[in-house]
């Protein structure tokens, strides 16, 4: 029956179940959140038996909803691919496997739900305590503000009508006091009792009524502030953060159950030669799925033989479709992950490669050394084990220098002869747009003045090499970048290390040129060595660039 199944329709069924489940999870979270907050409010925001029971009711409802969703995912699949007598056993086995199958991190779905429940319990307690403390700190602010008002007006429970600037200053002070001080609920109650006792000493015909009114308003404001803080904090934790985690678990496991179900339901069907990994319409960012949908294993682009098809989704949230195929696809795919990456436009490839790997590739490391055949990228630890950590650090720094083209700034001491020389160059060559980066900073100090001035390092070295050193071949600052990159592109160039305490920078020597860079890849300088210069004086010799690239 499998060859007659409408696999596209089954994929749409999966989507409908996923979206319906996420909606139900949201409704359930909102409903339980209301009950949890009501129970907390009834007991002064203390976790008691009633509120704990409401929390447990929410947590216990989750497994049942996930099991129901699994049944809704697997039933259409079984109906479309299996004889009636086989369907119940298929669904039961697939459901059991979904809850017990271990992922590479060692966790099963049961583990994940249990972990989510534990995290939710702990998070609710922590968030509740934090919100209560924040509310109590609000209480402290209210009283500090009142005492500040009394200090300004010399009246108890006075209404501020003047000296607004002093009031603002006191408000700022109490805001800082909030950071330093957090009182307790008992201290808050004691403060209220103390104020109530003070009010009793006031004249009934005098200020007692106004004082009582003021105290009641303060208490009401504090209570409302605390309630709002706690309610919002709980909503954020349960509904926003933990609901997202739960939806992530459910979506991934439902899609994974569907994925494995397709394989199990069709693996014995002789008409099926393999499985086509088809990208989801919601797939917006390139990742490993792009490779899975393009791989060439003899059946055409993205078609996996039965014995090689991945048994689980490529990553969390993956909603790509696995479609059984009865014939080859004409278009050929990539033979390896490196070939796949090489064929991508640079912009897409850089969305997959981490930045450090982008730099290494630009420096000359082949993509075969940056990726595994199975569609995963090598880690920095793996590369360090291959070429050594010190060499890898140097390679990454050089790669960043090639990739980022960041010269940063250099501080030049005013009054130096070369500063005055640079002023002259800028004035004499107004036609050179690359000197404009030097013009404004040099004009900020008077001629012969003192102090430091920060200038663009790239523009400074370009101007120096072209107009002071008289180096040929430089007609714009970009030419300096090209020369710098040609030094780093020379695989026979020698890398030197300069150390100063914990700080490290590198120098690359190629022919009669050197290029200096910081460990973060920022370009420092580049110039020609004087005849007779000893490169060994540059620093500690590390290796050639070719040795950095494996």
Q: Greater confidence, 154 or 533?
A: 533
User: Rounded mean pLDDT of 71-81?
Assistant: 92
Q: Given this model, what pLDDT does residue 532 score? A: 73
Predicted confidence (pLDDT) at residue 141 exceeds the cutoff of 60: no
Any idea which residue has 């985690």 for tokens? Answer: 245
Going along 283-436, which residue ranges are E strands?
303-305, 321-325, 409-413
Ordered DSSP codes for 55-118? HHHHHHHHHHHHHHHHHHHHHHHHHHHS-HHHHHHHHHHHHHHHHHPPPTTS--HHHHHHHHHH
Query: pLDDT category, 305, cuts 50, 70, 90?
Result: very high
Q: Given this model, what pLDDT does residue 233 score? A: 76
The C-alpha atoms of residue 20 and residue 170 are separated, in whole angstroms, by: 53
The C-alpha atoms of residue 378 and residue 329 are separated, in whole angstroms, by: 30
Average pLDDT of the residues of the chain: 81
Q: Given this model, what pLDDT does residue 225 score? A: 54
User: What six digits make up the tokens of 210?
Assistant: 């106004």
The C-alpha atoms of residue 483 and residue 515 are separated, in whole angstroms, by: 9
Predicted confidence (pLDDT) at residue 546 exceeds the cutoff of 50: yes
* pLDDT tens digits, 155-202: 444 433 443 334 334 433 433 343 334 343 444 455 556 656 666 766
Predicted confidence (pLDDT) at residue 134 exceeds the cutoff of 90: no
Q: Given this model, what pLDDT does residue 185 score? A: 44
User: Rounded mean pLDDT of 256-272?
Assistant: 91
The C-alpha atoms of residue 190 and residue 196 are separated, in whole angstroms, by: 10
Q: What is the 3-state secondary structure (H, E, C) of 196-241?
A: HHHHHCCCCCCCHHHHHHHHHHHHHHHHHHHHHHHHHHHHHHHHHH
* pLDDT tens digits, 401-410: 988 888 988 8
Taken in order 230, 235, 238, 240, the sign of the CA dihedral is negative
Query: What crossing angle do the helices spanning 84-100 and 109-153 adopt, rounded to 10°?
Result: 50
List CB contacts of 98: < 8 A, sequence separation 6 or more: 70, 109, 253, 256, 257, 260
Predicted confidence (pLDDT) at residue 346 exceeds the cutoff of 70: yes
Out of 5-9, 382-386, 444-448, 471-475, least confident range: 444-448
The residue among 493, 500, 476 whose CA lies nearest residue 529 is: 493
User: Rounded mean pLDDT of 119-144?
Assistant: 72
* pLDDT tens digits, 31-57: 999 999 999 888 888 888 999 999 999
Main-chain dihedrals φ then ψ at residue 509, nearest 5 degrees: -110, 120
Q: Given this model, what pLDDT does residue 486 score? A: 93
């Amino acid at each position: 029956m499998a060859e007659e199944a409408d696999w596209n329709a089954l994929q749409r069924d999966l989507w409908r179940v996923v979206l319906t489940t996420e909606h139900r999870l949201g409704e359930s979270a909102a409903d339980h959140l209301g009950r949890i907050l009501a129970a907390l409010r009834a007991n002064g925001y203390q976790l008691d038996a009633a509120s704990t029971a409401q929390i447990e009711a929410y947590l216990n409802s989750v497994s049942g909803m996930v099991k129901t969703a699994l049944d809704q995912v697997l039933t259409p699949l079984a109906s479309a691919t299996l004889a009636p007598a086989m369907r119940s056993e298929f669904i039961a086995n697939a459901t059991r496997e979904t809850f017990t199958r271990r992922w590479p991190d060692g966790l099963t779905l049961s583990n994940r739900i249990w972990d989510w429940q534990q995290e939710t319990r702990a998070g609710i307690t922590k968030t509740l305590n934090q919100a209560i403390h924040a509310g109590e700190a609000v209480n402290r602010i209210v009283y500090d503000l009142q005492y500040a008002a009394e200090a300004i007006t010399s009246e108890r429970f006075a209404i501020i009508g003047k000296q607004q600037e002093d009031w603002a200053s006191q408000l700022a002070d109490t805001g800082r006091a909030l950071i330093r001080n957090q009182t307790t609920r008992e201290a808050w109650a004691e403060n209220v009792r103390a104020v109530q006792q003070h009010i009793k000493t006031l004249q009934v015909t005098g200020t007692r009524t106004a004082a009582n009114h003021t105290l009641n308003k303060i208490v009401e404001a504090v209570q409302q502030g605390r309630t709002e803080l706690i309610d919002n904090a709980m909503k954020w934790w349960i509904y926003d953060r933990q609901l997202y985690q739960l939806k992530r678990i459910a979506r991934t496991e439902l899609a994974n159950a569907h994925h494995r179900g397709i394989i199990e339901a069709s693996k014995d069907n002789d008409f099926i030669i393999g499985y086509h990994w088809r990208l989801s319409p919601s797939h917006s960012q390139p990742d490993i799925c792009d490779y899975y949908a393009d791989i060439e294993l003899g059946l055409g682009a993205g078609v996996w033989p039965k014995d090689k098809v991945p048994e689980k989704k490529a990553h969390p949230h993956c909603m790509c479709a696995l479609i059984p195929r009865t014939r080859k696809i004409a278009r050929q795919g990539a033979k390896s992950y490196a070939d796949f990456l090489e064929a991508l436009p640079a912009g897409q490839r850089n969305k997959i490669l981490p930045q450090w790997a982008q730099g290494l590739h630009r420096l000359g490391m082949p993509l075969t050394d940056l990726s595994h055949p199975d569609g995963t990228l090598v880690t920095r630890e793996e590369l360090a084990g291959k070429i050594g950590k010190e060499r890898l650090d140097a390679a990454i720094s050089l790669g960043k220098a090639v990739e980022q083209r960041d010269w940063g700034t250099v501080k030049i001491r005013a009054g130096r002869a070369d500063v005055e020389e640079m002023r002259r160059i800028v004035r004499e060559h107004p036609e050179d747009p690359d000197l404009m980066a030097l013009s404004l900073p040099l004009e900020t100090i008077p001629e012969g003045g003192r102090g430091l001035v920060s200038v663009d390092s790239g523009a400074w070295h370009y101007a120096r090499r072209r107009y002071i050193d008289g180096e040929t071949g430089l007609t714009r600052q970009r030419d300096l970048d090209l020369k710098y990159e040609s030094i780093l592109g020379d695989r026979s160039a020698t890398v030197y290390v300069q150390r100063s305490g914990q700080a490290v920078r590198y120098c690359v020597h190629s022919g009669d040129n050197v290029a200096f860079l910081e460990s973060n890849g920022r370009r420092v300088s580049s110039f020609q060595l004087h005849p007779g210069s000893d490169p060994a004086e540059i620093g500690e010799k590390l290796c050639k660039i070719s040795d950095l690239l494996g």
